[in-house]
Structure 1
């Protein structure tokens, strides 16, 4: 489960003896994989507070509330329990002079389930050779290197043209079999790693049968997830694959 760690500083505290934060970041991030990301924030004096009253936007320079304690930064943690998150927060150097507020994310969406559904939708679109359905899985600014054209495709329009070229070479439905699919999901981005086998009859009488490793970058777009980046890896002795998925 994910937790937001609000790092609350105290402008009256003496921070001269505080331990550096970098070792905590190294341990929780690189070594244990608990800290996903985080960042420092500018001082409260540089904040802008925005309110809307009667349809009028009211802007006030400065923080929402005048207090000696303020949010100096944040970290996103992924822990098995609140107790583990509290343990991580207690090790943060700022905890010795300020305070750490730990709050669980509101888990009301199954992001991984939505991405897996998107992948299944791409499988069905290829089976039906439905170009519009396939393109609906991609972001407008998707970055792809398409194996058919041999050129980098920037944007959905360019990708559509490359996909049209590949679809024209098919004589029947595409069997897309996902042999292994692993996901790493964050709040607004995700990465998927899969082994994909593509089989289809071709217009020239031959048969496509290609197994590749596909790395896909996803981005949340409102209440949907879309493919923003795709990379296909093939064996070095296979040459350029006649595959039907993009390679970036």
Structure 2
């Protein structure tokens, strides 16, 4: 489960002897893999507070409330339990001077499931030769390294054209079998790594059967996950005995 740590500073506290935050970030991010990301915030004096009352926009410089405590930054953790998140908060240097508010995210979304369903759409679209269905999985500004042309295709129109050229060399559907699929999801960005077996029949009559490594980047757009980057690597003969490159 994901947890938000709100790092609350205190204007009245003496922070001159506070331990550096970098070791805490290193421990949770690199060694334990618990901290997904986080960032400092500008001080309350730089804040702008906006209210709308009766259709009128009321804007004021400064924080929402005048208080000695303020949110100085945030960290997003992925922990097995609330106790693990609290343990991480206790070790944050600011906890000794201010406060750490630990709050769980609403657990009502299945981002990984949505991404897996999106990948399944690509499989179905290839089998049915449905370009519209396939292109609906991609963002308008997608960047794809296309395995056929060997070039980067930028934008949905360029990708569609490359796909149409590829399918024109095939006499039937494309069977796409995902052998391995690993997903890493953040709040609005996700990545997947997969081994994908592609089988098809070219118009020449020869059989096409190859396995590719596909790395895909996703972005949450509104309430939908879309593919914004995709790199497909296929094996080729390097000419060196016993060696295979991609």
| TM bracket, shorter-chain basis | over 0.9
Q: Please tell me whether the aligned partners of residues 147 and 233 of structure 2 are also in contact (alpha carbons under 8 angstroms).
A: no
For these two proteins, the number of residue pairs brought into alignment is: 239
1:163 aligns with 2:144: no
Equivalent position SS for 2:237: helix
TM-score (norm 2): 0.95
Equivalent position SS for 1:80: coil
1:203 aligns with 2:203: yes
Write the deviation string for residues 51-99 of structure 1: whole angstroms up to 9, x where unpaired: 1111122111100000000000000001000000000000000000000
After superposition, residues 1-248 of structure 1 pair within 5 angstroms as: 1-237=1-237
Equivalent position SS for 1:157: helix
Q: What is the CA–CA distance in structure 1 between the aligned matches of 2:45 and 2:111, rounded to whole Å?
A: 36
What are the ranges of 5 or more consecutive residues in structure 2 without an aligned counterpart? Answer: 240-246
Q: What is the CA–CA distance in structure 2 between the aligned matches of 1:136 and 1:207, rounded to whole Å?
A: 28
TM-score (norm 1): 0.94
Q: What is the CA–CA distance in structure 2 between the aligned matches of 1:28 and 1:118, rounded to whole Å?
A: 31
Residue of structure 1 in register with 2:243 after alignment: none
Q: What is the CA–CA distance in structure 2 between the aligned matches of 1:220 and 1:188, rounded to whole Å?
A: 5
Equivalent position SS for 1:163: helix
Write the deviation string for residues 116-142 of structure 1: whole angstroms up to 9, x where unpaired: 100001100000011111000101000
Q: CA deviation at 1:236?
A: 4.3
Equivalent position SS for 1:57: strand
Q: CA deviation at 1:235?
A: 2.8
Q: What is the CA–CA distance in structure 2 between the aligned matches of 1:151 and 1:6, rounded to whole Å?
A: 44
Equivalent position SS for 1:183: strand
Q: What is the CA–CA distance in structure 2 between the aligned matches of 1:233 and 1:116, rounded to whole Å?
A: 20
Q: What is the CA–CA distance in structure 2 between the aligned matches of 1:235 and 1:96, rounded to whole Å?
A: 54
Q: Please tell me whether the aligned partners of residues 147 and 234 of structure 2 are also in contact (alpha carbons under 8 angstroms).
A: no
Structure 1 runs (4+) greater than 6 angstroms displaced: none
Once structures 1 and 2 are overlaid, which stretch shifts more, 87-96 or 219-228? 219-228
Q: CA deviation at 1:100?
A: 0.2
Equivalent position SS for 1:77: strand
Q: What is the CA–CA distance in structure 1 between the aligned matches of 2:56 and 2:154, rounded to whole Å?
A: 41
What are the ranges of 5 or more consecutive residues in structure 1 without an aligned counterpart? Answer: 240-248
Q: CA RMSD in A?
A: 1.1
